[in-house]
Chain A
Amino acid sequence: MTFFKIFAFLLMTVSIYSYVGQLVPQFEEHPPVKKVITVATSAAELAAIGEELVQVKGGCLICHKVTDVGNDRGPDLRQAAGKAATRKQGMSAETYLLESLIKPEVFTVPGFPQMMPPALQPPANFNRAEVKAVIAYLQTLGGAEVTVKIETADIPVVKEVDATSPVIALESPWSHEGVRLGLVILAFNLVMLAVLAIAGRRKTS
């Protein structure tokens, strides 16, 4: 009877915790879908890819916002392209945006802390073509014309270590060495059995 009482108490407690878990906002977060960018990718396509990169792979909206509701840790991205030409004297808007994504530590918008990670490094881990797609999106977001162009040098050779990479595709070393390890363990067991037999003999004598 005590067991059932305790079990009922357990179910009641975990149910309350799970119920509270249902009360907080519910959403799923999916990994980014890989998109192929080429020199022939149109401006509209590039901007669409850039939008997805900002929302998913880049995780940019953790700190920035693109609508009225969003985060204020970094500047409002709707104004990024519009203000880009005025940020650094003598630097074009496109070059500034490129620099602010690749080397964010060089210039920080006044009023914000320097916490932006470089876009070419993890966790965003963009390649240059993806960085340009983000710039295309920022330009459309600010109502400007997409001026950024993809060049052959922007298209990457595979950089990310993914499941198809030769490094990760190596077979586990254990498939060959497991037997050898098993033999060592067997020998160890035999030694212990011998010790036990000696102790047993001492016991009977």
Chain B
Amino acid sequence: MSHSSLSTFTALKGTYQGVLKISLMLAATYLVAQGLSAYLPAADYRLFFGFSNRTAIWVVAELHLMFAAFVLGVPIFAVITEFVGVATKEKRYDDLAKEFTKLLAMAYTLTAVLGCILLVLVIVLYPKLTGYLSKLFKPTWLLYIVLIFGEVIIAYFYWYSWDLLQGAKKKWHLALGVLVNLWGTALLFVADIWVTFMMSPAGIDDAGNLTSLWAAITNPTWMPINIHRLLANVAFGGAIAAAYAAVRFLNATTEEERARFDWMGYVGSFIAIAAFIPLPFAGYWLGREIYQFSEQMGVSMMGGSFAWLWILQAMLIGGLFLASNFYLWLGMGRIPGAERYVKFQIPMMILLTIGFIVWATPRSIMASGTEMSAMGGSHHPFLGLFGVMAAKNTAVNLMILTTFFSFMLYRRGNRIPMVSWAVTGKIVQALVIATAAAVVLYYGIYSYFVPSNIRIGFSIYQVGAVLAAMSIFVAIDIPLLKGAKEIGAIRWGQIPARAQYALFFMAISFTWLMGLMGYIRSGIRQYWHIYGRVMDESAHAFTMMHGQATIIVSVITVIFFLLVSVVFWMASRGEGGAAK
């Protein structure tokens, strides 16, 4: 019996187990949904054991979405890490990619279980709407099932064939990794069809009959949400993988383990922040499409009943920026030579804090008549100036620039450039950062003196300046640090435990932020199943108070982390078993 045939059999067996699981789950879902539909009295809507059907769907759909984001996000950076390992011939990258992928197997099962529960719930609680959507999008449902099986087969085979496809066969494993991502992206794009159609319906006539399936698929918000979710999945996956590394770091018993998971946590957090930085731009695009589809929906989102939730979003994103910088600064403690840059930390923290405060300042505040007359209106005469987009765009761009600068300092912590043009290079880099900051500030201030239609265009210059500065800085940094003198090796593992709590904070905040933004995106349909076309006439079709909504987001976050801890435990247990 050859080792190769044994490994092939193991890989195929593991893959089939995944297929069997999905097959059994789908069969159970079908039987339960059909059984309940036949058993329960006919109705347009049904309650969830006496509770709100809307909230039940919300909680399960959000949990399913979070796991789906994780299993679609992780393979993207797992395969990139694997590529880096092949390119640099450093085994530690291949080990890291495998560590990331290890988290997937159990997470796939939970994603599928939650998806099945969601399917049963939409069929049983909203039978007529589900019937209508099923009929409209029947070909996409069939495609979705094919894609699910394809994803399971490729992803499981990717995992189980890791050791089999090494050496000369590595290229096949990399190809499998690319295929997992292509398949996963297709899966995401198909699922987004139904969600975005409900937000911005197209391709149906006044009576609701389908006139063009393609128009219904490529509805106005479909592609912006595809891109937004793709980026968010990577950021989310990175944050959760970093949290896993943090747990393993805190439970580590050896120096080797601590070093390994310290490095994994750093890579995970770096991926999360790198994918997080372009997210606001994808968000702008989505927002613009929403406004173009329905001005009223756009205004409801940004200036109407949901406007206050953006203050919460600002607080979360501000917290994420502070936590990621805090983590980097603590990480500098394990880099010999990085003490040269400690002097920058306090000014950067002040800048981030000011940016945070400006971003979280509301434009108008709820006030009594007396308070309003004392203020001279619903806006505070001075603080109100910081509540507008001009100030907020300026604040967030400076925060992005600061975080980028922090990371660049971290990167060169233990290195001294030795190229002949090192001083000139550093001066140019400093000038590039200063120029970008000046452009951002100039347009931020100028925004106050021009009409809103011109002001909107200024955000492009601000974003452009920041992106250009980051690109130029990196383009100089790579040759600058080539052949640099190393002061000492990074002491992986020698980082305080509180840095791991910064990683947890980032994972929790990303999850909460995802829950909140999901609520806003779905909530702006208000009492419509399909916006402007099909009304929700159930008893719970109302927009709840923000306070209640945030409690539900918190409950979802806690449930998610309890389930994720099972994934973490399974991943650690598997390793223990293998070691034995």
| Interface residues, chain A, with chain B CB atoms under 8 Å away | 2-3, 6-7, 9-11, 13-15, 17-18, 20-22, 24-32, 59, 62-63, 69, 71, 73, 113, 115-117, 121-125, 159-165, 167-175, 178, 181-182, 185-186, 188-189, 192-193, 195-196, 199-200, 202-205
Contacts and interface: CB of A to CB of B under 8 A. Distances in A.
> Interface range on chain B: under 10, 10 to 19, 20 to 34, or 35 or more?
35 or more
A62 B512 CA distance: 28
A58 to B, nearest CB: 9
B209 A167 contact: yes
Interface of B: 1, 5-6, 8-9, 12-13, 16, 19-20, 23, 26-27, 30, 34, 37, 44-45, 123, 127-132, 134-135, 138, 141-142, 145, 149, 206-209, 247, 250-251, 294-297, 299-300, 303-305, 308-309, 311-312, 315-316, 366, 372, 378, 453, 501, 504-505, 508-509, 512, 526-528, 530-537, 541-547, 549-551, 553-554, 557-558, 561, 565
A173 B535 contact: no
A21 B128 contact: no
B558 A71 contact: no
Nearest to B554: A14
A70 B13 CA distance: 65
30 contacts: A2-B251, A10-B508, A11-B558, A13-B508, A14-B508, A17-B316, A17-B554, A18-B551, A20-B315, A21-B550, A24-B547, A27-B305, A30-B527, A30-B542, A62-B299, A62-B300, A123-B297, A123-B528, A162-B535, A162-B537, A163-B129, A164-B44, A167-B209, A170-B131, A172-B135, A174-B141, A182-B27, A192-B19, A196-B16, A205-B1
Max count, chain B CB within 10 A of own CB: residue among A21, A121, A174, A182: A21
B300 A59 contact: yes
Contacts of B565: 3
Given A28-B544, A192-B19, A9 B501 contact: yes
Contacts of B300: 59, 62
A186 B343 CA distance: 66
Contact of B543 (A29, A63, A169): A29
B545 A28 contact: yes
Contacts of B130: 172
Contacts of A200: 9
A196 B13 contact: yes
Nearest to B526: A29
Given A14-B558, A20-B312, A31-B536, 13 more contacts: A10-B558, A17-B315, A21-B553, A25-B366, A31-B537, A117-B296, A124-B296, A165-B207, A170-B132, A172-B135, A188-B149, A189-B20, A192-B19
